[in-house]
Chains A and B, each alone.
Chain A
């Protein structure tokens, strides 16, 4: 039982490139979230999903897209990377009936 898995751990992108950050869970939780955390700052919600086929915007969705075709996977897509997207990205899950979120180890992204 790995919980929440994120890949890659690190990535360097050039401005304008695209990439997908992967998030996979094996706990069968309905809720999944993507956050970004800039250096020395708190977490900001990018997108979230309450179940397969359903996604919704969070606080800072611009420049990102998500999909949720299965319960297990919740990939985050960056289409045109910008330096402002340099951050650490965390995926989290939550089961229905609980407010506790379980976080993945994060992906550190640098856009230059």
Chain B
């Protein structure tokens, strides 16, 4: 079955620094991945997605990297801001399971 997990449950980053959040998956058949952000007391919110035929995709201040060889995803957030503090999940697009997530805390 699908296994989507995060390497680190918590991550603290100084405001203005870059952050990297990691995600591992086990199902090689996954062809689409999404990153969600969940702020305290709110529902998850879409950030960025990537197809399995891509290695990298960039958005506004965010970049997702996909390494199919080691079945690993990462979400890079540039110049972190206080509003980036949240839990971040990766999810395989065609399935409906989410890992525990990584809690990112931005230190002022």
Contacts and interface: CB of A to CB of B under 8 A. Distances in A.
Contacts of B46: 100-102
Contact of B43 (A40, A59, A90, A99): A90
A42 B42 contact: no
Contacts, number: 46
B52 to A, nearest CB: 12
A104 B32 CA distance: 23
Interface residues of B, number: 18
A106 B97 contact: no
A104 B42 CA distance: 8
The majority secondary structure among interface residues of chain B is: loop
B27 interface: no
For this complex, into which size category does the number of interface residues on chain A fall? 20 to 34
B44 A103 contact: yes
A106 B34 contact: no
A59 B97 CA distance: 8
Nearest to A108: B41
B40 to A, nearest CB: 11
B42 A43 contact: no
Given A100-B49, A105-B43, A45 B97 contact: yes
Contacts of A104: 43
